[in-house]
Structure 1
Amino acid sequence: MVPQLPGKRPASKSEPDAESRAVGKFLRRMLPLLVLMLVVNQMDRTNVGFVQADLKADIGVSATAYGLGAGLFFIGYALFEVPSNMLMERYGARVWLTRIMITWGTVIVAMSFIHNVTVFYILRFLLGVAEAGFFPGVLLYFTKWLPDSSRGRASAIFLGGSATAYIVTGPITGALLEMHGVAGIAGWRWMFGLEGVFSIVVGIVAGFFLVSRIQDARWLTQEEKDALSAAVARDEQARDRAPKVSKLKLLVHPQVALLTGVFFAMALTGYAITFWLPSLVAEIGGLSPFQIGLLSAIPWICAVIAMYTVSHFADGAPDRRPYLVAALLLSAVGAFLATLGSPWFGLLAITLAAIGGKCAATVFWPMAQAGLDFKIAAAGLAIVNSLGNLGGFVSPTLFGYLKDTTGSTNGGLYSLATASVLAAGAVFLIRRGGGSAGSGEPLPAQGTAGAAQGETTPPRIA
């Protein structure tokens, strides 16, 4: 038996090592703030869905103009996402994520002064420019702080904030709209103004708490800093040795094209529900803005519960494709049924569509990761994400045009149902990606930094 030295205590096998302690401190100190920032981010990009009728009444924004304005956000976002990430590499998370949040909060405040359709278009586009790079920027931040083995957990917690945002946006926004007439100001102007100011305040607070570099963290011991820095450096060296992949070749890669088409259909449904759900709920009649907000949260509450339930079963399945097909068909059925019956029945139908959409996203990203060859996985997923998210521009624009030309959103709902059915038919052409092949973590629907988990290394894009 080895004698215990004075002043020393034997190391316990259950005691976490320096790297694990450092990771735990990061998750406890940084992640709650990042999740709050994401909740505010999702709220500010989708709150316009609750004021469609007000914008039409006060400044003459037609359904077509509203749909186009809602979709213009995604054009600005797509154009500036990559430059934003490059600038974050240069300035660090503390400066750049703070800048992003304060800027988008300023644009939201400016939206409270909208006085015509042109200004509405400009500010929605600028909101996309301002927000560009936030979501993938946070995921990139994880790569600077966490080794590959710990990033999946952090990403899953962070993504939970997105699900939370869908639930809380309705009640919070609805409550602010109840301020209509206070100081002679319209409720929608109060809503934009106060939510924008809150975003700015959170951004300023984040500037005091975010830490860009491991070595700058005062709440880590030097031993923890060194251990975590070494682990992250090893992963970075492995990524630098990864092969480059041509974007042009990936654009015509059959599997990448199929995945892009399926994700585009999913984005069509997801963003159509996001931007048009409040107006569909309002058709029930006799509801206050707060009540509309509460009812608008119901589909997302049900969807989040279903999402985590389905992921539990799908992650262990040898083939995820049947789960994705079922989710897409449920989304199609929900969209079709929303064209029938009363507004209350329509809310139930939209709930089914939301459940299908969220469950599809949960199954899709791990399946996509497992179904692509390793040498093209990270780059291919980046293209799938970028092109597929253009559904966020197409669906609200299409809904608005059909609403003005036909007087109903039924045409848009039929289009969503058709797109989901076609996507379901294409799923079985995608290479099988089962639970054992993937990471087991749902990948983000926006941005792919840190997408490839585990011991392998994602390739770089040429």
Structure 2
Amino acid sequence: MQHSTQTDPVPESPALESATRKAFRRLVPLVMIMFVANYIDRVNIGFAKDALEADSGIGAGAYGLGAGLFFITYAIFEVPSNILLERYGAKFWLTRIMISWGLVSAAMMFAHNEWIFYGLRLALGAAEAGFFAGVIFFFTQWFPNRTRGRANAALYSASTIAAVIAGPLSGALLGMHDVLGLRGWQWMFLVEGLAAVLIGVLVWFRLESQPRDAAWLTEQEKDALTAKLRAEEAERLATKQEKAPSRWSMLRDPQMLLFCFVYFAAQLAQYSVTFWLPSFVRDIGGLSEFMIGVISVVPFAVAFFAILAAGRISDATGLRRTVLGSGFVLAAVGLGVAAVTSPVLAVVMLVVATAGFKVAASSFYVIPQQYLVGALAAPGLALINSIGNLGGFVAPTMMGQVQEQTGSVSGGLLVVAACCVVALAGCALLRYVSPSRAATPETAPSTTAG
């Protein structure tokens, strides 16, 4: 495939600017709320790890496997889910996803042994499959290329907001031992799962699948935004080969394989830290569950500002790969040092690592969003997300086994740091199509097999 790029000096029309501002104000905060609930329900088992071991006999190995099993069904159902999103629209399908995953997450309160735990984690992955890639595709239906980096950054910043909320909230809920006969960890899963169901109902009334459906845009704004998005799509299609490959043959494209690996590395780093962060903090000693939750917030609070800064720099400069690579540098250094130092310094270095892998993950999708066009956009993004998210299976499974065998997760952190270094090298090989098609130092024309 031949990919050439250039900068677009033509100022946007007032109607387009107005439509984009309105869409950002209305849709991005709602999607961020959705992602907050999504992230909390995905990772809250990290706070329940010790309680599950005490009450349900789920040890480190079983915990790591169960945490990772989520990503197996997530990967299996990701592409079909996004094909259905294309067919039925984002409003219906994202509402369905939120309500179903909320119910399954609430059902985690019944995880009284490891087999129920495994089954519910598999069910949660199937229910949630398609959410993130669906939102990324949804953004391509609403935001032109030059503003999509900020939209993606806002989405990823929601995961840091979720972590800030999840720590104290989960810590407080874990303290509700024997209230109405339920253990604290049962209250945590019930309350946080039902919150997702309620947000799903809100989504049905507030989300619109495409600009033409939005009563809050004027006709001029609808026309301007729709025309801009169609023009960008046509321009990208013009740079592709005449006959598009089938959805599954996309994996024969080396760029798609590279996309999958780079995102896999980001997810590997993320879930190596996320599922084990409360345990790292607990190793400091002498802390209550609530204080563990509060301290666990710090890495994600720092990452929040790093993500927003990275999104602005990426959009302002167009240096997508440079911003992405800088995230992997921070992640590799933070994880590597955390593996070989004291508990207190390890937590400090995990702040650095968290900022790094969050910047990498938030900066990544703007590249394949421009690379994939037409009928390949939704399934292509889903394919990258599903394969990349297998890092979420490998990370906790590996970390659990390493901890069981050695009593420490240091060896696992070093392996993940090495993967981040390899991903950093891969960033230099990524290719994308920018909004216009003149070569710049960062986006020089290149040819890749397709």
| Worse overlay, 260-269 or 223-232 | 223-232
1:66-86 deviations in Å (ceiling 9; x for gaps): 111111111111111111112
Is the CA contact (8 Å cut-off) linking 1:174 and 1:293 kept in structure 2?
yes
| Worse overlay, 148-157 or 270-279 | 148-157
Structure 1 position 329, deviation (Å): 4.7
Aligned to 1:394: 394
Aligned to 2:429: 431
Counterpart of 1:454 in structure 2: which amino acid?
Answer: P
Aligned to 2:161: 164
Looking at CA atoms only, which structure, 1 or 2, has the larger radius of gyration? 1
Aligned to 1:331: 331
Structure 1 position 250, deviation (Å): 5.4
Structure 1 position 47, deviation (Å): 0.8
Larger relative contact order (C-alpha < 8 A, sep ≥ 6)? 2
Once the two structures are aligned, what percentage of the paired residues are identical? Answer: 46
Structure 1 position 351, deviation (Å): 1.9
1:345-391 deviations in Å (ceiling 9; x for gaps): 22113223223323444565567789x8999x979876554433211
**Pair 1:138-2:138 in alignment:** no
Is the CA contact (8 Å cut-off) linking 2:303 and 2:355 kept in structure 1?
yes
Aligned to 2:82: 85
RMSD: 3.7
Aligned to 2:343: 343
Is the CA contact (8 Å cut-off) linking 1:321 and 1:427 kept in structure 2?
no
Given candidates 103, 121, 124, the residue that maps to 1:124 is: 121
Is the CA contact (8 Å cut-off) linking 1:336 and 1:417 kept in structure 2?
yes
CA distance in 1, matches of 2:289, 2:92: 37
Aligned to 1:271: 271
Relative to structure 1, the CA distance from residue 168 to residue 324 in structure 2 (aligned partners, 3 Å threshold; closer, same or farther) is: same
Q: Report 1:188-227 matches (<5 A).
A: 188-227=185-224
CA distance in 2, matches of 1:52, 1:150: 40
Aligned to 1:184: 181
Is the CA contact (8 Å cut-off) linking 2:256 and 2:384 kept in structure 1?
yes
Is the CA contact (8 Å cut-off) linking 2:255 and 2:430 kept in structure 1?
no
CA distance in 2, matches of 1:403, 1:58: 20
| Worse overlay, 21-30 or 144-153 | 144-153
Relative to structure 1, the CA distance from residue 381 to residue 21 in structure 2 (aligned partners, 3 Å threshold; closer, same or farther) is: closer
Counterpart of 1:77 in structure 2: which amino acid?
Answer: Y
Aligned to 1:442: none
Given candidates 49, 53, 77, the residue that maps to 1:52 is: 49
Is the CA contact (8 Å cut-off) linking 2:134 and 2:382 kept in structure 1?
no
1:23-44 deviations in Å (ceiling 9; x for gaps): 3333222322121111111111
CA distance in 1, matches of 2:258, 2:26: 40
Q: Which runs of 5+ in 2 are unaligned?
A: 1-10, 438-449
SS in 2 for 1:182: coil
Structure 1 position 200, deviation (Å): 0.8
Structure 1 position 139, deviation (Å): 2.8
Aligned to 1:62: 59
Is the CA contact (8 Å cut-off) linking 1:148 and 1:455 kept in structure 2?
no
Relative to structure 1, the CA distance from residue 263 to residue 17 in structure 2 (aligned partners, 3 Å threshold; closer, same or farther) is: closer
Aligned to 1:96: 93
Q: Report 1:19-30 matches (<5 A).
A: 19-30=16-27
Q: Report 1:342-381 matches (<5 A).
A: 342-361=342-361
Q: Report 1:411-450 matches (<5 A).
A: 411-424=411-424, 426-427=425-426, 430-431=428-429
SS in 2 for 1:396: helix
CA distance in 2, matches of 1:401, 1:15: 54
Structure 1 position 268, deviation (Å): 1.6
SS in 2 for 1:112: helix
Counterpart of 2:75 in structure 1: which amino acid?
Answer: A
Structure 1 position 246, deviation (Å): 5.6
Structure 1 position 157, deviation (Å): 3.0
Is the CA contact (8 Å cut-off) linking 1:145 and 1:213 kept in structure 2?
yes
CA distance in 2, matches of 1:222, 1:327: 41
Aligned to 1:441: none
Aligned to 1:454: 435
SS in 2 for 1:183: coil
CA distance in 1, matches of 2:421, 2:222: 51
Structure 1 position 413, deviation (Å): 2.0
Is the CA contact (8 Å cut-off) linking 1:320 and 1:432 kept in structure 2?
no
Relative to structure 1, the CA distance from residue 20 to residue 45 in structure 2 (aligned partners, 3 Å threshold; closer, same or farther) is: same
SS in 1 for 2:276: helix
**Pair 1:110-2:107 in alignment:** yes
CA distance in 1, matches of 2:315, 2:222: 34
Relative to structure 1, the CA distance from residue 154 to residue 99 in structure 2 (aligned partners, 3 Å threshold; closer, same or farther) is: same
SS in 2 for 1:184: coil
Relative to structure 1, the CA distance from residue 146 to residue 342 in structure 2 (aligned partners, 3 Å threshold; closer, same or farther) is: closer
Q: Given the two structures, how large is their TM-score scaled by the length of structure 2?
A: 0.81
Structure 1 position 418, deviation (Å): 3.2
Is the CA contact (8 Å cut-off) linking 1:151 and 1:453 kept in structure 2?
no
Structure 1 position 308, deviation (Å): 4.5
1:407-439 deviations in Å (ceiling 9; x for gaps): 222222232233334444x448x4377xxxx7x
CA distance in 2, matches of 1:67, 1:50: 13
CA distance in 2, matches of 1:360, 1:145: 23
Q: Given the two structures, how large is their TM-score scaled by the length of structure 1?
A: 0.79
1:117-157 deviations in Å (ceiling 9; x for gaps): 11111111111111111122223333444455554443343
1:225-276 deviations in Å (ceiling 9; x for gaps): 4444444455556667654136677545555545544443332211110111
Relative to structure 1, the CA distance from residue 202 to residue 193 in structure 2 (aligned partners, 3 Å threshold; closer, same or farther) is: same
Counterpart of 1:76 in structure 2: which amino acid?
Answer: T
Aligned to 1:295: 295
Is the CA contact (8 Å cut-off) linking 2:399 and 2:412 kept in structure 1?
yes
1:159-185 deviations in Å (ceiling 9; x for gaps): 332332233222222222222232232
Counterpart of 2:196 in structure 1: which amino acid?
Answer: S
Relative to structure 1, the CA distance from residue 417 to residue 29 in structure 2 (aligned partners, 3 Å threshold; closer, same or farther) is: closer
SS in 2 for 1:408: coil
CA distance in 1, matches of 2:321, 2:27: 36
Is the CA contact (8 Å cut-off) linking 2:36 and 2:162 kept in structure 1?
yes
CA distance in 1, matches of 2:418, 2:137: 36
The count of aligned residue pairs is 424
CA distance in 1, matches of 2:80, 2:143: 23
Q: Report 1:143-158 matches (<5 A).
A: 143-148=140-145, 150-158=147-155
Q: Which runs of 5+ in 1 are unaligned?
A: 1-13, 439-451, 457-461
CA distance in 2, matches of 1:423, 1:148: 24
Is the CA contact (8 Å cut-off) linking 1:107 and 1:127 kept in structure 2?
yes
